[in-house]
Structure 1
Amino acid sequence: MTVPSAAEQRAVQRRTVSVLSAGQVLGGIAFGATVSLGALLAADISGDDALSGLATASVTLGAALCAIPLARLATKLGRRRALTLGNLFALVGIGIVISAAAVRSFPLLLVGIVLIGAGNAGNLQSRFAATDLASPRHRGRDLSVVVWATTVGGVAGPLLLGPGEIVGQAIGMPPQTGSYLFSLVAQVAALVLYLVALRPDPLLLAQRILAAGVGKTAVKERRDHPVAARYAMFAIAASHVVMASVMAMTPIHLAHMAHSTHGGHATPADISTLVGVTIAMHVAGMYALSPLFGILADRWGRLRVVLLGQGLLAGALLFAITVNDQAWGVMVALILLGLGWSAATVAGAALLTEATTPALRTRRQGRSDSLMSFSAAGGAVLAGIILSNFQYGGLAVAASVLVVAIAVLSPLGRLGSHTPHA
């Protein structure tokens, strides 16, 4: 097969980013609903707030277990098949979660959430798929555009809690599962989109181009920087742990606040509204400004934007420590938490891609996603324990240790003087 010209490659890349972005919009709906409802369903079905962290832990565990297998599948068969397999996992998971709520089975609930997390591994892989054909000058931008697209679905997911309950009650679905009906439809649409429109496969085409030695950066792209790559993986994983651990416990903290505000008699609607709006704002923070962080990563350098993310995370934790008894304070903390995560993970993913030779790139990307998810799973479990013993402010103090570690170790992330974006 012939290698496409530079103009044809740019056209394929534009199409690829558009398709991946649309898929992220659809996939984000299930993610947003699970973030909002998972902890509440876990606490309700188990009868123990301390077990609520297992919901977020299960999402991240599912993503961790599937990240490397999906990356290997992408290497052999292309991104399209890996992404559609992720969609299938999520579809099965949604069905199991609804069934678990109906029979009030906590173990079954966790199984369903694990499978939704497996689907999220595919969503995470989409941002790397956006870099397969991207030029080094625009790698951060293209990656961040796909990350940004998750905003629509991620914000819509929590905001669909109320309408979902209405629809769910009308058709006899279990309480607090109605919005998963919207997630089910969105996942089917994403699966069809990838099957039909993600052609040619970006990773398989990039492998052909590299094998042919086409492009001015072909030699430069083969340079490997393992120390910087490991730092990027650590920065991504640790930033994700900070975000996921605090975010996972926020619905429980807000539920306690709602009961306190209403004299111990808050209704499920009161709690759903407060949680839904707060998490929607948090998810908007996670994704809405990601193109800005991608552009900054291309212009300022990947490492500087990773450190900018740590500054934002530090601000979030400060609000969580000092103003955690006010709904507005928690909301500001969650918005800053999302922004810090966005800056750190967008720039970190670009740094990982740039620091790794193409032959190792997909493998390391899978390992990074797996490390990120496994770490967040453990963090979510510990977050439930810390919240029960030291409250919300204590959880924020514990998370700040990782922010300091990322900043202190940042010199390891330098690529060297030959790379303008170190």
Structure 2
Amino acid sequence: MTTNVPVRADHVPRVEAQRRSLTVLVIAQVLSGLGLAAGVTVGALLAQDMLGSTGLAGLPSAVGTAGSALAAVAVGRLSQARGRRPGLAVGYLAGAVGSGGVIVAAVAGHPVLLFLSLFLYGAGTATNLQARYAGADLAAPARRAGAVSTVLVATTLGGVAGPNLAAPTGGLAAVLGIPYLAGPFLLAGAAYALAALVLAVWLRPDPLLLARALEADPTADPTADPTADPTGAPDDAAGRPRADAARRRPGVPAGVLVMVLTQAVMVAIMTMTPVHMHDSGSGAAASGLVIAIHIGAMYLPSPLTGRLVDRHGPLAVAAASGLVLLAAGALAALAPDDSVAAYAVALALLGLGWNLGLVTGTAIITDAVPPATRARTQGWVDVSIAIAGAAGGMASGLVVEIAGYPLLAVGGGVLALAIVPVAVSAARDR
């Protein structure tokens, strides 16, 4: 049941509240980007080192993504009941606790504890993604993609810096008597904890609760049409709004499918690239640089993507994401084993394709669901995304062990092409 927290819409102008929310979210996202990078950079290598098996190297990604699925539901429900502020803060705090557990598991050499901790660590990843919805809560419909992109791009600074700190944090870990590969999780724990603190203290007024207040009292917003149904749903024969109309809009399944396919392909190729480079003789610095470029490409193009979506519509940009991911997979499959530059370009394209798909899918979902049910619906949407990522991560190690990295890369690119007919079909339904 939703808990109604009093928010006076007339006390805080919408534009001012949106500006403040974006500022706080940007700060938190920079910090969470540092936490997010740890698992991407060394998670697979840590598991490979502890388990002695390349075939299981994709398991940390799968476990972490499964944890993010559960966290997406929890964060979505808590946000629905209490608002974005407690939902996001608790999610990041869980990620910090998971990071600490990974360190303890590495010191103890305990694989079961490692995977349990990575499961909890996945809450940080889920929360990082859920924050993009908070950026769109108060945004005008024509600027929602731009607001989403602002939150996403903030992750770039931490996400790019994090992998390049793998060697320094590994050295610090060695000084402290912690295994080298667990070093980045020292940074992740601190970064996630600080992100939780920033949100808990400064994300006021809560953007989702204020959006609900504005929906309930549209006359409090000078830009709103006081006669308009805030859900945009048509009335039934008795003149009552159809509460389930938004759920039947074609945008919802299209948005989910675009983000699910994008996530599965991105996670599968990203997870095994550092392992493939390591097995080919590249060091941690080289794989860290490639992952840093990849994460930068995941988030840095967000402002441009937001403008493209706002100007040309999300479905056209979604179709482009499938083509970019195909190019990424093809290049990764053809890259020489010793070519760090080729892998860097391939993973940059992989990150760009993911960005195009995520921003467009998020805009589609946000447009289709009213504030009254938005957080809960978005939580379940992100569960689907997390499950897709878990499947991609789990399958990636097995595919590489059986058929090799090139087949994984090109297969992922071909799978991404399915986004194109999804977008075309949804465009026809509108």
Q: TM-score, normalised by structure 2?
A: 0.91
Query: What CA RMSD, in Å, does the superposition of the two structures yield over aligned residues?
Result: 1.8
Question: Residue 309 of structure 1: CA displacement?
Answer: 1.3
Question: Residue 70 of structure 1: CA displacement?
Answer: 1.3
Distance in 2 of aligned mates of 1:154 and 1:282: 9
Aligned position for 1:161:
166
Q: Which amino acid is the alignment partner of residue 225 of structure 2?
A: K
**Contact preservation (8 Å) 2:266, 2:350:** yes
Candidates 67, 71, 91, aligned match of 1:66 = 71
Distance in 1 of aligned mates of 2:151 and 2:7: 28
**Contact preservation (8 Å) 1:314, 1:400:** yes
Q: Which amino acid is the alignment partner of residue 305 of structure 1?
A: V
Q: Which amino acid is the alignment partner of residue 252 of structure 2?
A: A
Structure 1 residue 47 corresponds to structure 2 residue 31: no
**Contact preservation (8 Å) 1:96, 1:108:** yes
Matches within 5 A, 1:166-315: 166-214=171-219, 215-216=224-225, 218-219=228-229, 221-223=231-233, 224=246, 225-258=248-281, 271-315=283-327
Aligned position for 1:420:
none
**Contact preservation (8 Å) 1:165, 1:177:** yes
Q: Would you identify which runs of 4 or more consecutive aligned residues in structure 1 move more than 4 Å? A: none
Matches within 5 A, 1:140-151: 140-151=145-156
Aligned position for 2:127:
122
Q: 1:101 to 1:373 in 2, by over 3 A?
A: same
Question: Residue 324 of structure 1: CA displacement?
Answer: 4.6
**Contact preservation (8 Å) 2:170, 2:180:** yes
**Contact preservation (8 Å) 1:239, 1:402:** no
Q: Which amino acid is the alignment partner of residue 247 of structure 1?
A: M
Q: Which amino acid is the alignment partner of residue 278 of structure 1?
A: V
State the SS of the aligned residue for 1:52. Answer: coil
Q: Which amino acid is the alignment partner of residue 249 of structure 1?
A: M
Question: Residue 219 of structure 1: CA displacement?
Answer: 2.5
Structure 1 residue 328 corresponds to structure 2 residue 326: no
Which has the larger displacement, 110-119 or 40-49? 110-119
Distance in 1 of aligned mates of 2:334 and 2:400: 15
Distance in 2 of aligned mates of 1:331 and 1:361: 37
Distance in 2 of aligned mates of 1:149 and 1:28: 8
Q: 1:410 to 1:2 in 2, by over 3 A?
A: closer
**Contact preservation (8 Å) 1:3, 1:212:** no
Aligned position for 2:238:
none
Distance in 2 of aligned mates of 1:370 and 1:157: 25
User: In the TM superposition, what whole-angstrom CA distance separates every residue of 1:250-286 from its partner, at most 9, and x where no partner exists?
Assistant: 111000111xxxxxxxxxxx62111110100000110
Q: TM-score, normalised by structure 1?
A: 0.92
Distance in 1 of aligned mates of 2:61 and 2:325: 19
Question: Residue 406 of structure 1: CA displacement?
Answer: 1.3
Distance in 2 of aligned mates of 1:324 and 1:301: 38
Say how many residue pairs are matched. Answer: 406
**Contact preservation (8 Å) 1:17, 1:130:** yes
Q: Percent identity?
A: 37
Question: Residue 321 of structure 1: CA displacement?
Answer: 2.0
Q: Which amino acid is the alignment partner of residue 166 of structure 1?
A: G
User: In the TM superposition, what whole-angstrom CA distance separates every residue of 1:300-328 from its partner, at most 9, and x where no partner exists?
Assistant: 11111111211211110110122253322
**Contact preservation (8 Å) 1:28, 1:150:** yes
Which has the larger displacement, 405-414 or 17-26? 405-414
Aligned position for 1:389:
402
Distance in 1 of aligned mates of 2:370 and 2:24: 26
Aligned position for 1:266:
none
Distance in 1 of aligned mates of 2:154 and 2:185: 20
Structure 2 gaps of 5+ residues are 1-5, 234-245
State the SS of the aligned residue for 2:182. Answer: coil
Q: 1:207 to 1:322 in 2, by over 3 A?
A: same
Matches within 5 A, 1:107-118: 107-118=112-123
Distance in 1 of aligned mates of 2:300 and 2:100: 29
Distance in 2 of aligned mates of 1:317 and 1:122: 28
Question: Residue 412 of structure 1: CA displacement?
Answer: 3.5
Candidates 411, 414, 417, aligned match of 1:398 = 411
**Contact preservation (8 Å) 1:229, 1:413:** no
User: In the TM superposition, what whole-angstrom CA distance separates every residue of 1:100-151 from its partner, at most 9, and x where no partner exists?
Assistant: 1111111111111111101221111100011111100110001111000111
User: In the TM superposition, what whole-angstrom CA distance separates every residue of 1:139-189 from its partner, at most 9, and x where no partner exists?
Assistant: 000111100011111111101111112222222222212222222221221
**Contact preservation (8 Å) 2:35, 2:124:** no
Distance in 2 of aligned mates of 1:313 and 1:390: 20
**Contact preservation (8 Å) 2:146, 2:310:** yes
Structure 1 residue 410 corresponds to structure 2 residue 423: yes
